[in-house]
Structure 1
């Protein structure tokens, strides 16, 4: 008779790999920053009319109030990063694809914000966006682990 107990099945399942373990430590740290930042940004969208000044910036886009064009852009970017961070931390299947989109958006916005001063007549200075460095490595890492993440 070949019977398997529930304990044997549990022992076999105990050797599974968590998706979260595929992430390097630096991404895990940023995940927490952006989950907190996304939550705060979403809260400030709700209480924005009662707040006199709310300074925020990401990728070179700076805003002093939440209900301006730049304020809504920064809030949307930070909230999206928070959603991606949530997906990565709680091991959602869609998270690596969303992270790749997040990295591409971040790189694109950084490049636009580097080129924009040359187009606008008031600004004639060049700003090197150092966010491009971690964004590049983030994009590379997410592309590396995407297949493994989705198959687990």
Structure 2
């Protein structure tokens, strides 16, 4: 992971503040945010069940079931926050911090739930969330003064 420059002048643009690995994940979440509504339409038209999963939450069935809608809403919120970060929006880092901490909370809750069911489901997503949130906190003070280009 590249270090974040000490000053906004040396940082250049907001896009330069974002490490490549975060950009890759951001584009993946952006793509999922586009595919989710298409999946719902496809499933409704064909009568096929849809499968959703994020941070340990899983659902297979109608795309209009409440659990499917919750998972779809989480994926769309991840896509919106990724858009904000990737395109240098003023709210991008804060949105990613909110969805990042939300993802950690969901992972921890699904792990606790699995324990209550007599199993243990270790969420490896947390191994990515920790450096991600750390990097966002490093970027946050530089974000407002960096150029938007």
Scaled to the shorter chain, the TM-score interval is 0.7 to 0.9
In the alignment, structure 1 segments of 5+ residues that lack a partner are 1-14
Q: Deviations over 1:21-73 (max 9, x none)?
A: 11111101001101100011133345553242111201111111321222112
* Equivalent pair of 2:81/2:92 in contact (CA under 8 Å): yes
- 1:57 match: secondary structure: strand
The 1:16/1:59 distance shift into structure 2, 3 A limit, reads closer
Matching of residues 3-152 of structure 1 within 5 Å: 17-50=12-45, 51-65=47-61, 66-119=63-116, 123-152=117-146
**Rg (Cα) greater in structure:** 1
- Number of matched residues? 135
TM-score by length of 1: 0.82
In the alignment, structure 2 segments of 5+ residues that lack a partner are 1-9
Query: Displacement of 1:104 after TM fit?
Result: 0.5
* Equivalent pair of 1:56/1:63 in contact (CA under 8 Å): yes
Distance 1:71 1:48 in 2: 12
Distance 1:91 1:45 in 2: 29
CA RMSD of aligned residues (A): 1.7
Q: Which structure shows the higher helix fraction?
A: 1
**Segment of structure 1 superposing worse, 34-43 or 101-110:** 34-43
